[in-house]
Amino acid sequence: MFDGVKGMPAKVCLGLSSVIMLVYSVNFIFFADCHVINGDGCRSILTNGADADHASYGRGAAVLQLAGTLMLGLFMGNMLLLNEGAKGKWSLMLPGLIGFIVLLWVLAVTGDYESSSSNPMIATAIGTLLYGMAYYFLMEEGVNEGLNFEFNGLQVKDTMAAAMLGLAVFIGVAFTINNLFFAEGYLGRSDSTFLPVIGNYDGDYYAAESTAPNPILIKVIGSLFIPYVLYAVNILRTGPQGKWPIMHVSMFGLGAFALASIMGVIFFDEADWETAGNKAAFTQNAVITTLVWFLVVASYARLRAEGGEDGMTIMGEEVTDADFFLMKMYPAIMAVIAVILLATNLYSFSGL
């Protein structure tokens, strides 16, 4: 295990950045409800450091769990690098690095919102630095092999697969722009909007809903969308041959995100919300995220014919069964993720 990366400096940097990703991912998936109330009377790995009178106290637990699933996907990308090697995987690392840099910007430049703790920003800065250093060290192991920033038109031959990825990119770009640049409007706190206010609420949704996420959390989600959007753009721009690493990470991260959204609808409790339209908003987001998940998985299935799985290895070993990942390994792992997310809705790991 973890023999794919040979150089110790790169392995250490990737390993440490993975620990940071995993800790935050687990904390948000299992303990988001406790995290947002600063651990008052409950269990959590990390807390938001907010006093009861702070603007972030009690806000955004549902959004934090979604952020945890996206971070889980990026963590699995690190595991892929450590086990399968970094050769030619610039297409995996550069989008991740861009996403982490934007996340750091979001946490550092908060505008008129005063963060309750600088710990997330510090952890993100350390994790981004470690990830960037790993990329630098991995240049010796061929991470930049095939590096290509040219655009020579659409490189996906399968029209249906190209259309599905294109639609996924369109949705991803729309939500990324909305979350990063129009978070205030999305929450109804300003008239500057891109997408409609959550739940089409007429007024200041943030002020009316005591558990609504603060603008920073909306921006965090937007920054975590970026790698997944860039993965799809890269496939459309350079072709699918050998792009199984970024497709796998997308399928896991977006799949977990969609499942968490679906669970949010299934286990929606009206008593937890004060304003009307919340369940409709949850349902709408669940439908959209599930659609994107389907588009990515379906396009992967079709792009295998164009070499999408060329050079695919698992734990460093070449895969001889053509259907092993898509029909066996992927469903099994997603079933485990589904069970975990189901457990978080049936049982309070935080003790609340």
- What is the band of 114 on the pLDDT scale with cuts at 50, 70, 90? confident
Report the C-alpha gap between 97 and 79 in whole angstroms. 15
Res. 349: pLDDT tops 90 = no
Rounded mean pLDDT, 70-74 = 98
Among residues 290, 18, 348, the alpha carbon closest in space to that of 171 is found at: 290
pLDDT of residue 152: 87
pLDDT above 70 coverage of the chain, percent: 99
pLDDT of residue 111: 67
Q: What is the dihedral of CA 69, 254, 317, 139, to 10 degrees?
A: -80
Output 194 or 240, whichever has higher pLDDT.
Answer: 240
**Residues 216 and 110: beta-carbon distance below 8 Å:** yes
Output 151 or 91, whichever has higher pLDDT.
Answer: 91
Name residues whose C-beta falls within 8 Å of residue 29's C-beta, 6 or more positions apart in sequence: 65, 68, 69, 72, 260, 340, 341, 344
CA 228 to chain centre: 7
Name residues whose C-beta falls within 8 Å of residue 21's C-beta, 6 or more positions apart in sequence: 71, 72, 74, 75, 78, 127
Q: Considering only 146-150, 225-229, 232-236, which range has the smallest mean pLDDT?
A: 146-150
Largest CA distance in the chain: 58
Residue type at 208? A
Report the C-alpha gap between 215 and 251 in whole angstroms. 27
Report the C-alpha gap between 121 and 179 in whole angstroms. 18
Q: For the chain, what are the domain ranges?
A: 8-346
> For 199-217, what is each residue's pLDDT tens digit?
777 778 888 998 999 999 9
Residue 313 DSSP class = E
Q: Considering only 39-43, 52-56, 100-104, 172-176, which range has the smallest mean pLDDT?
A: 52-56
Tokens of 97: 């690095």
- What is the band of 238 on the pLDDT scale with cuts at 50, 70, 90? very high
Beta strand segments in the chain, E: 313-314, 317-318
